[in-house]
């Protein structure tokens, strides 16, 4: 079953367009796709759709305490950005505000924890979460979804240089939480910590969703056909799983094991951003880290590291970037 079976007019066409736009951004070479370039594409698309959009550059990010985004982007010659895109239909009874935050690493070298060459080849697609978030808000507007939708795109290039952040550094992310860095190649959760804390503290969402090509552990556990879904909310999980099944983007709910949270305890900061070396369950501990910044809101985390990239064309899925998540989120929003 595809989104086109939903009674909203032209739903299948809009879902396909949203997925295509996410794919197109993901396959753009990183020599072109700097954070500034990607922010410009978001502004152009949002403006054409009649949506409100704001872009925070380095000065604004520093002023408002986005320490995660600034640290990750600090080693690059291309400074980071935070893009906020808002779709606000007329108010009506039962309307909710959904915020979708997407990891937007325009290229991931691993930073000082540099990746092997083979692991870097696909890293121009490490901003797929941001592309999916943008596609979702644009698709929601095109569909006329009745709920408010805000997309947050924290954009940075994880490069390395004299101003790179280091293992052992302590960062202060938006809202004041301090984070001890252990691995500069776990940068996605740092930019998302900023985005989630900003959303929870200042945007008053009814539901907060983040989307990210976050962990190799999710790919090892589920392969390349299922996205990993984490949420403590049974109803939200059921609705997202059903939407993914209907849209042809299956999600598999994973456990949030509270006992693993102690592996993120830090002696020098409020929290470590990765678990101690040798700790298993990397996808779960990453989700537990992100949950801390959701501020107690209804929250779900989609780790799409596996299905965001396809090694070959299969059915409607192309080789390379897939845009996984856009159709599922649009189906969920249409039925929310």
Phi, psi of 113 (to 5 degrees): -90, 65
Q: Which two tokens stand for residue 61?
A: 């990010």
Q: 248 exposed, middle or buried (CB, 10 Å; 0-12, 13-18, 19+)?
A: middle
250-279 CB burial, b ≥16 within 10 A, e <16: bbeebebeeebbebbeeeebbbbbbbeeee
258 vs 121: CA distance, rounded Å: 35
Catalytic residue among 124, 189, 309, 331: 189
Phi, psi of 254 (to 5 degrees): -110, 155
- Residue 145: closest CA among 90, 81, 68: 90
Non-local CB neighbours of 311 within 8 Å, separated by 6+ positions: 224, 319
Whether residue 166 lies in the annotated active site: no
219 vs 225: CA distance, rounded Å: 9
Whether residue 189 lies in the annotated active site: yes
Distances (CA, A) of 21 to 110, 154, 159: 26, 18, 26
Please compute, for residue 227, the number of CA atoms within 13 A of its CA located in the half-sphere on the CB side.
Answer: 35
- Residue 81: closest CA among 156, 21, 16, 5: 156
Phi, psi of 217 (to 5 degrees): -60, -35
Catalytic residue among 115, 146, 292, 298: 115
Alpha helices in 86-168 (DSSP H): 117-120, 128-143
Alpha helices in the chain (DSSP H): 11-27, 35-48, 58-63, 67-73, 117-120, 128-143, 188-198, 216-222, 234-247, 282-291, 326-335
Hey, which residues are catalytic here?
115, 189
């Amino acid at each position: 079953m595809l989104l086109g079976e939903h009674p909203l007019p032209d739903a299948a066409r809009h879902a396909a367009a949203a997925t295509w736009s996410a794919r197109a951004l993901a396959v753009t070479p990183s020599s072109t796709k700097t954070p500034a370039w990607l922010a410009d594409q978001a502004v152009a698309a949002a403006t054409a759709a009649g949506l409100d959009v704001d872009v925070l550059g380095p000065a604004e990010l520093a002023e408002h305490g986005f320490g995660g985004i600034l640290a990750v982007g600090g080693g690059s010659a291309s400074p980071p950005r935070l893009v906020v895109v808002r779709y606000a239909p007329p108010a009506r009874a039962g309307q909710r505000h959904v915020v979708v935050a997407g990891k937007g690493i325009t290229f991931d070298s691993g930073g000082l924890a540099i990746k092997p060459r083979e692991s870097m080849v696909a890293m121009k697609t490490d901003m797929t979460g941001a592309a999916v978030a943008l596609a979702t808000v644009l698709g929601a507007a095109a569909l006329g979804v009745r709920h408010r939708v805000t997309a947050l795109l924290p954009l940075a290039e994880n490069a390395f240089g004299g101003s790179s952040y280091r293992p052992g550094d302590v960062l202060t992310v938006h809202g004041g939480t301090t984070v001890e860095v252990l691995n500069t190649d776990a940068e996605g959760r740092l930019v998302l910590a900023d985005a989630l804390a900003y959303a929870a503290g200042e945007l008053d969402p009814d539901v907060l969703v983040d989307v990210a090509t976050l962990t190799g552990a999710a790919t090892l556990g589920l392969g390349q056909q299922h996205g990993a879904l984490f949420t403590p909310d049974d109803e939200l999980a059921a609705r997202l799983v059903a939407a993914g099944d209907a849209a042809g983007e299956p999600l598999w709910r994973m456990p949030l094991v509270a006992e693993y949270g102690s592996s993120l305890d830090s002696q020098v900061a409020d929290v470590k951003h990765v678990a101690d070396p040798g700790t298993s369950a990397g996808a779960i501990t990453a989700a537990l880290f992100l949950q801390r910044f959701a501020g107690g809101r209804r929250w779900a985390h989609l780790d799409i590291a596996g299905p965001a990239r396809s090694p070959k064309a299969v059915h409607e899925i192309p080789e390379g970037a897939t845009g996984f998540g856009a159709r599922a989120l649009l189906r969920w929003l249409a039925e929310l």
